[in-house]
Amino acid sequence: MSLQALWTSPALALLSLLLVLNTERAHTAVPCRNGECVCLLPKSIRLSKIMKKEADDLLKTYMDSQGDFSELFCQMPVNGVPDAEITGHGTLERLGNVYTKLGLFLKHITVVTEEQQNLQDPENPLFQLLADAKAHIGYLATNIKYILQALYPNDTIPEAAEILPRAPSRNVFQQKIHGCVVLSRHRDFLSHVLQELKGLQVKGYACTTRAE
């Protein structure tokens, strides 16, 4: 085979592609303890996209279930609900804030579920969407925790409060408002989380997957 034919052969093209991929991995990998690190950042980005879409559907289903004037509920002031913004300086603080707020939203959505059980038919599809939201928050929080442990093994990861402060007794109207505010902020928060994780990927925060 001539040199020109070898240079244009499919085998050499494949070899060149593999070299490029290996070079990219070398530049984006975070050193892993004990030679093992699970690549959770891309998985967390995909999960956040799914959760954002589900949060849109959840809020719409919730509002459809609340009757008249439901479009006004989310605009009412409610104390104690986490805001949608991500705060902190640097990756450690901002990811720590994401992790903490995921825990808070999980607890608030649990309260919303309990309140709606007294207001809605058990067969309402709202309850399955609420259950899915809680499950996926747990998955994403676990991923964020592992990412923090991989990037900052010597730092303490902040935890959400174990128990939410006992809320004052709410009437039916107040319960509807509370649920709408929680779910709308949860949706907006997930949009910020998705952008935050994408930003980390652009900066080159990634892990290589290595199986023994």
Q: What amino acid occupies position 206?
A: A
Give phi and psi for 169, each to the nearest 5.
-60, 130
Write out the chain's pLDDT in tens, 212 residues.
Answer: 444 444 444 444 444 434 433 433 333 334 334 333 347 888 999 999 999 999 999 999 999 999 877 778 888 888 899 999 999 999 999 999 999 999 999 999 999 999 999 999 999 999 999 999 999 999 999 999 988 888 888 888 777 655 566 666 888 989 999 999 999 999 999 999 999 999 987 676 655 443 33
What CA–CA distance (Å, rounded) separates 66 from 43?
34
pLDDT value at residue 35? 32
**What is the 3-state secondary structure of the chain?**
CCHHHHHCCHHHHHHHHHHHHHHHHHHHECCCHHHCCCCCHHHHHHHHHHHHHHHHHHHHHHHHHCCCCHHHHCCCCCCCCCCCCCCCCHHHHHHHHHHHHHHHHHHHHHHHHHHHHCCCCCCCCHHHHHHHHHHHHHHHHHHHHHHHHHHCCCCCCCCCCCCCCCCCCCCHHHHHHHHHHHHHHHHHHHHHHHHHHHHHHHHCCECCCCCC
Contact indicator for 189, 55 with CB cutoff of 8 Å: no
